[in-house]
């Protein structure tokens, strides 16, 4: 069974989009990847797009979307990034809250360390999910 991961941040324009881009890149079809925001922006943060382009990952086609309870229900793992209590909690799900700086309004040189932190966390998550899926 393919695990589903939902990344959630407030605007679904930076952190959650970068995390989703990394997980899609790392895991391919082995993991279903969703992302959403509690108060989605009208477009993805262009600096987040530029930061991911440096990694060879194109997130330009992604659009911020509103967090939907059904997405949480369908997900095996829910990774929040500063959305606080906006995220509904269902028993039996894996929840992680990643404390990450918000890249909104920051220049690329300040977004790179945030991106690198997200990459490290996603690599660990993917390793864990893929190991469990293979078991």
Which position among 5, 49, 83, 100 bears the catalytic label? 83
* 65 vs 93, higher pLDDT: 65
State how beta strands 94-97 and 4-9 pair.
unpaired
The answer to whether the CB of 93 falls within 8 A of the CB of 76 is yes
Which position among 9, 36, 51, 72 bears the catalytic label? 9
Q: What is the mean pLDDT of residues 88-110?
A: 89
Provide the 10 A C-beta neighbour count for residue 117. Answer: 16
Per residue in 71-92, pLDDT (tens digit) is 989 999 999 997 666 666 777 8
Q: What is the mean pLDDT of residues 54-72?
A: 94
Predicted structure pTM score: 0.93
Which position among 79, 87, 111, 125 bears the catalytic label? 87
Identify the CATH number of the domain defined by range 4-130.
Answer: 3.40.50.2300
Catalytic annotation on 87?
A: yes
DSSP at 28? G
pLDDT band at 125 (very low <50, low <70, confident <90, very high): very high
**pLDDT value, residue 88:** 67
Domain extents in the chain: 4-130
Whether the pLDDT of residue 66 is over 70: the answer is yes
Mean pLDDT of the chain: 91
Gyration radius from the chain CA atoms: 14
Instruction: Tell me the backbone φ, ψ of residue 78, rounded to 5 degrees.
Output: -120, 115
* 130 vs 122, higher pLDDT: 122
Helix residue ranges per DSSP H, the chain: 15-27, 46-53, 69-74, 108-134
Whether the pLDDT of residue 134 is over 70: the answer is no
């Amino acid at each position: 069974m393919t695990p589903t991961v939902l990344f959630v941040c407030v605007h679904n324009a930076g952190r959650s989009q970068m995390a989703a881009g990394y997980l899609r890149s790392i895991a391919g079809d082995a993991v279903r990847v969703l992302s959403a925001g509690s108060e989605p922006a009208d477009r993805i943060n262009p600096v987040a797009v530029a930061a991911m382009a440096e990694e060879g990952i194109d997130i330009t086609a992604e659009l911020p979307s509103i967090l939907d309870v059904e997405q949480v229900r369908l997900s095996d793992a829910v990774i929040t990034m500063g959305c606080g209590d906006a995220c509904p909690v269902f028993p039996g799900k894996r929840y992680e809250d990643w404390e990450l700086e918000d890249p909104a309004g920051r220049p690329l040189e300040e977004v790179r360390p945030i991106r690198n932190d997200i990459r490290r966390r996603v690599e660990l998550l993917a390793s864990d999910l893929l190991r469990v899926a293979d078991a």
